Structure formats: C-alpha cells, structure tokens
Amino acid sequence: MTTNSPSKVHITTTINGQQHELLVPGYMSLLDTLRELIGLTGTKEGCLDGNCGACTVSVDGRIVDSCLVLGAEVDGKEVDTVEGMASPDGLHPLQQAFLEEAALQCGICTPGFLVAAKGLLDNEPSPSEDRIRHWLAGNLCRCTGYDKIVRAVQKASS
Amino acid sequence: MVATFEPKTDYKVVGTRPIRHDGYDKVTGRAIYGGDMKLPGLIWGVMVRSPHAHATIKSIDTSAAEAMKGVFSVITGADMPKAPSKLVDLGEGNVNFKWASNKLMADTKVLYRGHPVAAVAAVDRYVAEEAARKVVVEYDVLPAITNVVDALKPDAPILLDDLVGDDLGEDVTNTNMAAHVRHEFGDVEGAMASATHTIEREYNMQMVHQGYIEPHNATALWDEEDRIKVWTSTQGSFPARTQIAGILQVDVSRVKVTPLEIGGGFGGKIPVYFEPIAALLSKKSQRPVKMVMERTAVFETTGPTPGARMIVKLGADSNGKLTAATADIWFEAGANPGAFIGPAAQCVYAPYEIPNTRIDGWDVLVNKPKVAPYRAPGSPQVAFAMESAVDELCEQAGWDSLQFRIDNASKEGTRRGDGVLFSKIGMQEVLEATKQTDHWNSPIGDAPEGKVRGRGIANGYWFNIGLKSSANLSVNSDGTVQLTEGSTDIGGSRTSMAMHVAEVLGLDAHDVRPVVGDTESVGFTDVTGGSRTTYATGYACWQAANNLVDVLKQRVAILWDVKAEDVDFKDGVFISNAESAKTISFKELAGKLEDLGGPANSTGAVDLESAGDGFGTHIADVEIDLATGKTDVIRYTAIQDVGTAIHPSYVEGQLQGGSVQGIGWALNEEYFMHEDGRMANSSFLDYRMPTSLDLPPIDTVLVEVPNPLHPYGVRGVGETPICPPIPAIANAINDATGKRLYSTPMNAGSIVESLK
C-alpha cells in the first residue's frame, strides 16, 4: 500500500475476479468504495453500523459487513459481491432458489443474504435448518419472516 | 352501483406461482433502488438536526458551513414556502401541508429529537456531513412530553400553539389533544349492568418502528423551467407528488416523481421526508441533490406507529355471548396530529358480533416523531387489548377461547364498532379452518427442565381499501403485452398485475411485461398501502385487458370482414360467431396488427369505494425460560381469509412477514425513551428486530372466500397478519406461566418481573 496524497490511498484489489487499481480516500468504507468509486450498487446500505447485513460482501472468502471495513483495507485482497455470483451459464443455484421459492419481497436485503448464504454453502454444502438460521442471523430481513429465505438456502444446498 | 362477481375456480394463471418479473434484477444486484440513483453533476444533501425533543430556536448561524469548500447551498426553515393548513387524503391517513412542511423543517420550535433545522448540499456526502456540523443553532430547551397521560394534564407544556383540537365536534385551544371521536350503538350501560360476566383491563404499548431495511432517500432536480424532477423510494409516486407540490406550493404538474425500487415501507414510505428539501437545495445549487438518511434518523424522525393507552371492558351473558363492550383509546400522534384513532375504532370489535358498543378515541400530541402508517395502522394495538380481554374473560368464565370466538364471530350483516355493516366476510370460515389445523390438533409437547410452554390464539382484522388505480396495455408484434401500472412494487405486485392481464388474454404470465410507471407515463394511482394494490390495481389491469380484447375484436372484424359483435374471445383465441370454423390466436393476431389498424392499446382506470374485509386467526406456541424470562416462539401458524390468492407464494409471504413483525412487536421492539424525549435505542443493535435464529418456520393456511367485489375474488392480505401475533403471544405467555402481561414489549425483563 502506498500513499500518494495525504488523504487518498493507492490500492490494487480484485473485485469479482477483475483487478482494480484505485485511489481511495482514507476515510471511505469498502461499501462506498464499491458503490461510489466502482459503481457496484448491488451491495446495499442499510444502517452503516454493522447491524443489518445488507452490505455483506466476501473478502478473501470471509463474509464481512462492508460498511465496517475501509476501502483501503482490501489492498491485495479478493472482494466478491452479489454482482459476481451469476456466470455466463446462468444464475448461481442460490439466486435461482431465491426466485423459485419467492424468498424476497422488497429485495433490498437479498444481495446481503445471497453473499452470506454463499459463504455458508461454499464451506458446508449441506447445513441443517438450525445451522442456516444461525449463520444468517447477521442479516436482517423485515419483509419475509425468513421462512422462504431458509427454504431457498435449503433448496440450493446439496 | 357496485359491480359484483360470481366466484370462479377454472383459472389458468391465477393461483400459479411464476417467477417474478423483477426477480432477476433483484438477485443479481442490478435493480436500482432510491439510494442507487446517479446523475451527472450529482451532489449530496445532509440535514442538520435538533439534539432536543422540545425547544425554541433562538438563532441559526449557517455562515461557517456556507464558507466551506465544496458546499453549494444551505437552507433553513426560512427557505420553506409557507404551506397553508389544508388536509389532503393520502389513502392511508391524511396530510396537512402546514404540519407536513413543519415536520420536514422546523420553523421557530423543534418538536421532536432529530427535527431538521437546516440542510446542506455539498460535493459529496462526507463534505456535506462536515458542513452540517458547522451550522450553529442556539436553543431554549422546553420540557418534553413523552406520553399521553402527561400530554393531557391541565398544566402540560403545549406543543403547537395554534392547534385547534376537535373534542366531539367542539373546538378546543391551548391543548395537546388534536381530536376526540366517539362511536356508540345500543344500550351499552344497560347491557353491561345486566351482563353475567364482565372484565375491564388497561393495556399500554410503546411506539414501534416499521423497520424497513432501506433508509429513506430522495434525489431531486429543480430545473431552469421550474420543473421539479424527483427520484425516490416511495409507496406511491402520485401521493408523493401531491405532498411535494403541496409543501413546495407549486402545481402538481410541475413535479415529476419517478419511483425507483423500494426497500420496504410497511406504510412508513407514504409520507415524504427528503423530497421537498432535496428540491429546495437543488434550486439553490442548480444541480441534482441526493439525500440518504442515516439509520439513527430513520428511528428518531420517521415512521413509528402510535404508542397507546387503552381501557377495554367486555360483558357477556351466561351462554357465552358477548353483549356489551367499551373501549377508551389514547394514541400518541407524535409532534403533529394524526394518530389513526379512526382505523382503531373500525377494527377494535370487528371480529365479533356485539349488540351494544362504545368507542372513545383520542389523538394526542407528544414530543416524539410524527407517526406514519405501519401495516394496519391502529389495528394491532386494539387487537392486543381486545383479544387479551376476550381470553381473560373466557378464562374467568371457564369457556374455550376458540369456541367462544366461533360463537361470537362477526358475519355478513354484523355491525362494526363504527356502524358499518359487513358484506360477505370470512371470519367464521377462518375460525373453522383454525380448528382443523394440524397445529391446533397437535399437543404442544413437554418443555425441557426449567422451561414452560403455552399456546395462544387471537384474531386480527383490517378493513382494506380500494381507491384509484390506472393501467395501460399495448400489444407487441410477437404476441406479448406491455403493461404500465401505477402501483410502486414493494413485494412482488408487478407479477400479480401481469397475471391479472394474462388470465384475461389467455397468455403466460411472462408474456405480459409489467413496468411501474412514473407520474408522467401512467394515470393517477393511489398508494401501495391499505392492502389495496393487488385488489384495486389488479382490477384496473383486468379492466385494461378486457378493453384490449374489445380493441382486438375490431381488428379481427377487419381481418374477417365481419362485425366486431360477431367475434368472440376465449382462452387466448378469437372465434367467429358468424363462421364458426374461423379462429385466430391472440399471438397470431398480434403479428398481423401492422396491417389491421396499427398499434393496439388500452387503459384501465378504477376508483373503488369498498374493498372487502380481511380476517385472520393465528396460533402461537411459546417456550419460556423461567430463570431468564427469554421467550422462544416454537411453532406458529397464520390462518387468513385471502379471498383468491393470485400468486400464493407472495400471499404466504405477506402472512409470514406480517406475523414476524407482530412477533417482534410482542416480544422485543419498543421506542425506549429518556425523560427528555431522546430515544435510547435508535440502532438495529438496540432496537432488536427478529432474526432468522429467533424464529420457527411460519406456517400459513390460505382460506379462500372469494371477494364478490373483485373479478377474481381478491381480498387485500398485507395488513391483517400483523394484528393477531401480539395478543396470540400474550395469551400463550399467560397459558405458559399463568401470568398475564398488559404492556408491550413482553420482553424477558417483564416476564421475570411477572413471575416474582
């Protein structure tokens, strides 16, 4: 990491498999770095204090609330967001399951839930319902009562 | 004359579960919500807010903020147009422009903590926030009123000096009471005196918030032609336009509202908060201005539903029939009038047939945020009181509480507490279905060591509304149909609208492409609220589709050289009555329209006075840790008359989501206020909404009693399900511990306290 102005930090980071070279203001969150500098607005702002999970992204395979991480901190790291989940072959099984199970109503929490659920299934392909409910407890949804979200994650697990 | 419809069952699209049209954008992160708005030259606006709940503003000095590099404009209350005192109906609640304006930006006094006193626009959010901190405001702090009892004391500090309260038709001044209404039928006192069983209890509830995950936001551009363009997350682009124009004192046609995707609302995104402010900042800056609210301000300055004090008295005869009821209801309005006492009066007795009833309701000002609709506004409060009292009455008299609810259930012809007579309703069917559920017929099971279990049931009711909706259709040459409708889509309604059209035209749901229009591309449409959207906008879509069939019959008549009256349409195929062998499918015809008169379009427009009432009953099983008081909901079933479910998955979703909001309200959620009117828990950490880990699966039973007022029998479903959970859980807690709680939240502390 090199500093080339008092307030901005030069970073190189991989976002959804694509390398980006950025000048990030030192105070800027990863959330704003994604949304304001890169234009990836799929990651949502809900509370800015790490309590709703709408801004969940994966950093080097670990899920984090991107509002609590500085953009400057992801220098040399791999960041994955909801925009990177689908492939040219189609939707990720979790995305497909969320559609089929009607696991979203307003959809503002959906990107965070998808990234968080992917973080679970990447490491535990067949979690129990309890495990899913425990893992997703950092993501708030106010519309669905979680029932259909849990069912969708169960459907997408092997 | 209101049109009525015979129930049908042979639907091809209605009742199926197609993937929602907007779903792909929403699972890939492409959907553009209000907070995602970007425009060339966009700058950011930030509010300067009062740290006090009640104070006089002595002075505001904006000079340091204005001098900051990167700042474009600063406004204060002095920049607000003087809106007249004028009451306008927004579908779910009214707005008075004078107070709505004052709520957005204080004039001489601040009335709730977080009340805006100035706003700053700057090059980005960070600079704007820094500039906002440089605005210096001097206050004379006044005592804050935080509950209805203090507000109505004779020596209480007065919030609004110019408020004229309406006390049963009499004007009152120097008061915090905005309104007192009464509904009385029969001989209440006589019936109560001769009742063999009576019960009278007081219930208290704190304010709670809608808790949508997306904060309020708005982007506005006031252009050189004095046209105001607004992009926002709103539950109604036309009602938002009405408010913006009223507050800014311009003609509605000067304002164009483009609704972006909306991240939850539950009623709380019917009022505007930022839109007029962003517009004024834009006018001064000559740039588009975007504002996104911080979560603390969402809690402190938007939303909540009224806190309540309620006294309910019931009388029943020796046969277990309700004979009399009274309800005295005091609701907190927040800092200006409008606390939903009207809806509370409509809802309180609705599940029951009671010959003699009285309701008194008071709309009371307190130094808290002005309340906004929250899912059946007013009804969950009175359901908590009424359904708790019903259970306690049954307990005292030794009656089975489900059988009591069946024996006293309201039905067609029953008079509601405000005098309205019910048409065809499904309360009895819902209760009978409740009796048949696996949940009701399964034992609750043994609690582990140190814990107890209990089961509770309760009814809930919302009257549902109709109002105005518009839809446009046009045929594509490939045989698909473009639908533009006016209801902002908060939970999958676009697909229900497309299904209404597809059913008429004999198409697949995905052959109809629905778009939510802006205020310049579709006709007037009321709020997405009141459980009206699928009912009323669906009706407009059905009407537009039928009008399209009429247009297309004319084209077929040209093709076959027959009269339009001789063309029939069934299951997606036009048939000639004159020569029965002749047929042409909708899709085939679409490809030929170019030579048959060109574009084929139609519109639908409705203004529906009544909507068909919604009733539900919920069953809750709880398990309570006797040492800690922690309550877990271990099984939950929501049973509701949904009329006809257009897309059952999203109907189930409404029942599940409403149930869980009610569970949160029952067990955890509250505005915890300091005496000086500061909210102590204004974050998602401290305002603890239910997480996936707190809940069991939410089972649903969709009872379908088709609503005769809608062509497919649709009944509004969204609001009723938040009403039964609070009393169902209160009744379950009482069943488990033998202790009844009369206040919300029924949290661990209050349960431990009750067990002492």
Cβ pair B214:A108 closer than 8 A = yes
pLDDT for the residue A3: 42
pLDDT for the residue B695: 98
Cβ pair A142:B652 closer than 8 A = no
Cβ pair A142:B266 closer than 8 A = yes
Cβ pair A99:B24 closer than 8 A = yes
The answer for B 268-327 residues in CB contact with A (under 8 A) is 292, 294-295
d(CA B389, CA B383): 10
Residue indicated by tokens 């670990």: A62
Cβ pair B20:A114 closer than 8 A = no
Cβ pair B32:A137 closer than 8 A = no
The answer on pLDDT for B706 being more than 50 is yes
Contacts of A109 in chain B (CB under 8 A): 213, 263
| φ and ψ of B243, to 5 deg | -70, -45
Contacts of A102 in chain B (CB under 8 A): 17, 20, 492, 647, 649-650, 652-653
CB atoms inside a 10 Å sphere around CB B445: 11
Nearest Cα residue in chain A from B685: A51
pLDDT category at B9 given cuts 50, 70, 90 is confident
B746: left (phi over 0), alpha (psi -120 to 50) or beta: beta
Cβ pair B211:A142 closer than 8 A = yes
The answer on pLDDT for B229 being more than 60 is yes
Element (H, E) at A32: helix A30-32
Cβ pair A133:B27 closer than 8 A = no
Cβ pair B215:A46 closer than 8 A = yes
How, if at all, do strands B743-744 and B197-205 pair? parallel
Q: pLDDT of B55-98, one tens digit each?
A: 999 999 999 999 999 999 999 999 999 988 888 877 767 788 99
Q: What number is the average pLDDT over the span B735-742?
A: 98
Q: pLDDT of B314-346, one tens digit each?
A: 999 999 999 999 999 999 999 999 999 999 999
Domains of chain B by range and CATH?
Answer: 23-31+468-603 (3.30.365.10)
Q: What is the ipTM of this complex?
A: 0.97
pLDDT for the residue B57: 98
User: What are A22's two structure tokens?
Assistant: 């950025």
Q: Find which of B213, B219, B292, B688 to mutate to test the A interface (most A CBs within 10 Å of its CB).
A: B213
Element (H, E) at B386: helix B379-397
Q: pLDDT of B277-322, one tens digit each?
A: 999 999 999 999 999 999 999 999 999 999 999 999 999 999 999 9
Q: What number is the average pLDDT over the span A1-7?
A: 52
pLDDT category at A4 given cuts 50, 70, 90 is very low
Closest CA of chain B from A76, distance in Å: 24
Contacts of B684 in chain A (CB under 8 A): 46-47, 49, 51-52, 140
Q: Find which of A7, A143, A148, A150 to mutate to test the B interface (most B CBs within 10 Å of its CB).
A: A143
Cβ pair A143:B657 closer than 8 A = yes
Q: pLDDT of A14-59, one tens digit each?
A: 999 999 999 999 999 999 999 999 999 999 999 999 999 999 999 9
d(CA A82, CA A103): 16
Cβ pair A142:B31 closer than 8 A = no
The answer on pLDDT for B724 being more than 70 is yes
Cβ pair B263:A108 closer than 8 A = yes
d(CA B35, CA A41): 9
pLDDT category at A2 given cuts 50, 70, 90 is very low
d(CA B354, CA B185): 10
Contacts of B638 in chain A (CB under 8 A): none
Give B22's DSSP letter: T
Contacts of B487 in chain A (CB under 8 A): none
pLDDT category at B107 given cuts 50, 70, 90 is very high
Residue B118 near residue B138, CB atoms below 8 Å: no
pLDDT category at A6 given cuts 50, 70, 90 is low
User: What are B84's two structure tokens?
Assistant: 């007249």
Nearest Cα residue in chain B from A98: B27
pLDDT category at B580 given cuts 50, 70, 90 is low
Q: With an 8 Å Cβ cutoff, is B581 touching chain A?
A: no
CB atoms inside a 10 Å sphere around CB B583: 14
Contacts of A133 in chain B (CB under 8 A): 692-693, 695
Residue B376 near residue B343, CB atoms below 8 Å: yes
pLDDT for the residue B1: 60
Contacts of B698 in chain A (CB under 8 A): 145, 147
Q: Which of these, A86, A105, A97, lies nearest to A143 by C-alpha position?
A: A105
User: What are B699's two structure tokens?
Assistant: 């089972």
Q: What number is the average pLDDT over the span A129-138?
A: 98
Cβ pair A102:B490 closer than 8 A = no
A22-44 burial: b if 16+ Cβ within 10 Å, else e: bebbeebbbbbbbbbebebbbbb
Describe the crossing of helices B275-285 and B237-248 by its angle, rounded to 10 degrees.
Answer: 60
Closest CA of chain B from A2, distance in Å: 23
How would you list the strands of the sheet with B308-316, edge to edge? B170-172, B165-167, B177-185, B356-365, B322-334, B308-316, B197-205, B743-744
pLDDT category at A1 given cuts 50, 70, 90 is very low
User: What are B67's two structure tokens?
Assistant: 């001098």
Q: What number is the average pLDDT over the span B178-194?
A: 98
The answer on pLDDT for B428 being more than 60 is yes
A82-112 burial: b if 16+ Cβ within 10 Å, else e: bbbbbeeeebbbbbbbbbbbbbbbbbbbbbb
Q: Find which of B28, B663, B667 to mutate to test the A interface (most A CBs within 10 Å of its CB).
A: B28
d(CA A81, CA A92): 13
User: What are B183's two structure tokens?
Assistant: 């509904």
pLDDT for the residue B579: 67
Cβ pair B656:A145 closer than 8 A = yes
Q: Which of these, B217, B194, B455, B478, lies nearest to B315 by C-alpha position?
A: B194
Cβ pair A144:B656 closer than 8 A = yes
pLDDT for the residue B298: 98
Cis geometry, peptide bond prior to residue B40 (ω within 30 degrees of 0): no
> Based on the number of CB atoms within 10 Å of its own CB, is B354 exposed (0-12), middle (13-18) or buried (19 or more)?
buried
Please state, rounded to an integer, the average pLDDT across all residues of chain B. 97
Q: What number is the average pLDDT over the span B544-549?
A: 98
Residue B398 CB partners (closer than 8 Å, separation 6+) = none
Domains of chain A by range and CATH?
Answer: 2-84 (3.10.20.30), 93-156 (1.10.150.120)
Q: pLDDT of B115-148, one tens digit each?
A: 999 999 999 999 999 999 999 999 999 999 999 9
Cβ pair B653:A100 closer than 8 A = no
Nearest Cα residue in chain B from A86: B28
B675-686 burial: b if 16+ Cβ within 10 Å, else e: eebbbeebbbee
Cβ pair B693:A137 closer than 8 A = yes
d(CA B422, CA A34): 54
Out of A91, A136, A145, the one facing B698 most closely (by C-beta) is A145
pLDDT for the residue B95: 81
Q: pLDDT of B640-671, one tens digit each?
A: 999 999 999 999 999 999 999 999 999 999 99
B121-144 burial: b if 16+ Cβ within 10 Å, else e: bbbebbbbebbbebbebebeebeb
Residue B705 CB partners (closer than 8 Å, separation 6+) = B424, B425, B426, B429, B641, B643, B715
How, if at all, do strands B356-365 and B322-334 pair? parallel
